[in-house]
Chain A
Amino acid sequence: MSKLNPVNLPGITNKRSGKKTFQKIIRNYDLYIFLLPAVAYIIIFHYVPMYGVQIAFKEFIATKGILGSPWIGGEHFRRFFNSYQFWRLIKNTLGLSVYQLVAGFPLPIILALMLNSVNNNSFKKLVQTTTYAPYFISTVVLVSMMLIFLSPRSGLVNKIIELFGGTAINFMAKPKLFKTLYVLSGIWQNTGWNAIIYVAALSAIDPELHTAAIVDGASRFKRIIYIDLPGIAPTIIILLILNIGHIMSIGFEKVYLMQNDLNITSSEVISTYVYKVGLGGNSLYGLPNYGYSAAVGLFNSVINFAFLLVTNKLSKIFSETSLW
């Protein structure tokens, strides 16, 4: 007759815990006030724009606003998929991020392993502190430094080329060199910073593993391969997932600043295109079109999100490490 036992009736238990929850909320009312600014911010500047992304499916008319503008279905998307820009943008965006990932991702791991193997502590500290300094240089300054060093007239790199009998190269004007310049400057700026997290992970490895391996006669190099690397593998996988998840979201600022009319064929990526067709007033792409620009942006976000879900799933299957 357990059915009649009032304690087991779901309604009553719910009511009780409901009351308890309510009391908890009342008791902690000030915590919700603490949360208020952050929640207001996230709703206004992140969720309202997500709602506003519906203009991607509308013919945006300024006087009618987002809600009043007429629906046009997938018209903007059709226009984007059929435009001559489409494949070029995909190729440039993917090309740039894959290049960056392949060339840039292993280097912080290698740097961290090298730093971790240094016996002299002050030398280690010196190298570590200086290598992550460039991270704090602004994009504007970084790109200016590139222009200065690569200038065909007075740039240091060209002076060195000339010293060895070569002829000066106008680096920034060559579409073929754009991706390499982008990736190399990124490596210069970010490798030291990205290594910090691996250095931290390495310092958490139990030193007794090393002591035992030394007793067994393992060389320093062997210990890196068999102790250090496996020890930081979960960190590597998490960061790899995050990086692949952002594979289509190449940062706007540096690409935009490095662009010029001569390298545009290989330097136009989705984020710069979204800016130019939406707000840029670039004569190349006609009048600014909010709806079209939002559609291209939405396409990019969806692809990114899909990438993240897939990589996270794959990683869960193969390595039991995942973001959530």
Chain B
Amino acid sequence: MSDSDRVFNIINNICLGIVFILVVYPIYFIVIASFSDPNYVSQGNVWLVPMGANLEGYKSIFKDPVILTGYKNSIVYTSVGTFINITVTILAGYALSRKDLVGRNAFMFLFTFTMFFSGGLIPTYLVVRKLGLINKIWALVLPNALSVYYLIIARTFFISNIPEELREAAVIDGCTNTRFFVSVVLPLSKAIVSVLSLFYAVVHWNSFFNAMIYIRDEDKYPLQFILRGILLENEMRESMTQTIGDASDIQNKADMIKYGVIIVASLPVLIAYPFAQRYFIKGMMIGSIKG
């Protein structure tokens, strides 16, 4: 290795080290702040390790009925939504992967055109309202039952992973499309099903916009929408602050809950992340191969 390459390597590694710290530190800070005494945090004394170990924030969070209901709602919406997404995407993705499907190109055009042109917010809202979905869970899962981008990923996966010979052999044995799909294609599709489930689930878990326009009752709000209230509009729930004294104390307490809520809300994704991350890369790879 030449000297210039050695210098290059050192600079490269230092730069990546800085990138690493810039990405990790904000997340790390929220974690330690959520376990620290809020007074230390607001004075700027907490930098590297938690100070004045404190679980008050978490206690308030887990006592709050609104947050707990939101958590439960989000779990339901995410499960139901992801199930619908996967069913619709995998079935259509497989059908579109078949070269002998008459009208395949027309169907592909029908789908891909929507990636580039849409009716917009109000016309979509009017359709949802017309269908009577307002204030129902269906308003959160049906208007985004399918992502065309993930449909294309699924189709690409089937084209490159289900050999044509396999199907021809099955056809000679008198196997129908449905039977072939259920007993041959599905068992070979675990990778794509897990990748897309994760993608879809994260989208459902993180979304708040549809809830904002379609859901009216507080007891149906998903977690992210409740978070918006707590985190951004400083709408502290009465039950959380009633025991506190002066104003800055209330503010500190509010911060404390913010840190904790951020952790609690991101927890499912954080827990799934180490297990799921290799699938995420796999998914991106499948998507980057042109179908």
Given contact pairs A31-B98, A51-B119, a sample of 11 additional A-B residue pairs in the complex whose CB atoms are under 8 Å apart:
A37-B145, A46-B119, A133-B27, A139-B206, A141-B266, A144-B231, A145-B26, A197-B284, A219-B4, A220-B9, A275-B213
> A249 CA to B84 CA in the complex, in Å?
27
B100 touches A24 (CB 8 A): yes
Give me 6 A-to-B residue pairs in the complex whose CB atoms sit less than 8 angstroms apart, sorted by A's number: A49-B120, A117-B8, A136-B273, A221-B4, A245-B116, A278-B122
Q: Which residue of B lies closest to A144 (CB)?
A: B231
> A35 CA to B110 CA in the complex, in Å?
12
Of the candidates A52, A220, A257, the one whose C-beta lies within 8 Å of that of B127 is A52
Q: B2 at interface (Cβ–Cβ under 8 A)?
A: yes
A39 touches B121 (CB 8 A): no
Contact status of A220 and B8, CB under 8 A, knowing A42-B111, A123-B13, A253-B209? yes
> A118 CA to B178 CA in the complex, in Å?
48
Interface SS majority for chain B: helix
Which B residues are in CB contact (< 8 Å) with A51? 119, 123
A141 touches B227 (CB 8 A): yes
B114 touches A42 (CB 8 A): yes
> A37 CA to B146 CA in the complex, in Å?
9
> A50 CA to B227 CA in the complex, in Å?
33
Contact status of A49 and B118, CB under 8 A, knowing A37-B91, A42-B146, A219-B5? yes
Q: How many residues of A contact B (CB 8 A)?
A: 88
> A117 CA to B120 CA in the complex, in Å?
44
Interface SS majority for chain A: helix
Q: B169 at interface (Cβ–Cβ under 8 A)?
A: no
**B-contact bits for A215-234, CB 8 A (1 contact / 0 none):** 00001110000000000000
Q: Which residue of A lies closest to B255 (CB)?
A: A154
Contact status of A30 and B178, CB under 8 A, knowing A145-B30, A219-B8? yes
Which A residues are in CB contact (< 8 Å) with B9? 117, 119, 220
Closest 4 CB pairs of A and B: A49-B119, A297-B120, A38-B92, A138-B206
Q: Which of A3-11, A96-104, A124-132 contacts B (4 or more CB under 8 A)?
A: A124-132
Interfacial residues of chain B within 43-96, with CB under 8 A of chain A in the complex: 43-44, 87-89, 91-92, 94-96
> A188 CA to B145 CA in the complex, in Å?
29
Query: Which residue among A38, A134, A219, A301 has the maximum number of chain B CB atoms within 10 Å of its CB?
Result: A38
> A97 CA to B30 CA in the complex, in Å?
29
Residues of chain B having any CB pair with chain A under 8 Å:
2, 4-5, 8-9, 12-13, 15-16, 19-20, 22-24, 26-27, 29-30, 41-44, 87-89, 91-92, 94-96, 98, 100-102, 107, 110-111, 114, 116-127, 131, 142-143, 145-146, 148, 151, 176-178, 181, 202, 205-209, 213, 224, 227-228, 231-232, 251-252, 255, 258-259, 262, 265-266, 269, 273, 277, 280-281, 284-285, 287-288
A294 touches B120 (CB 8 A): yes
Query: Which residue among B24, B181, B228 has the maximum number of chain A CB atoms within 10 Å of its CB?
Result: B228
A140 touches B228 (CB 8 A): yes
Contact status of A37 and B266, CB under 8 A, knowing A53-B123, A126-B20? no
Q: Which residue of B lies closest to A288 (CB)?
A: B122
Contact status of A201 and B288, CB under 8 A, knowing A35-B92, A134-B23? yes
Which A residues are in CB contact (< 8 Å) with B107? 35, 39
A42 touches B110 (CB 8 A): yes
Of the candidates A117, A137, A298, A300, the one whose C-beta lies within 8 Å of that of B12 is A117
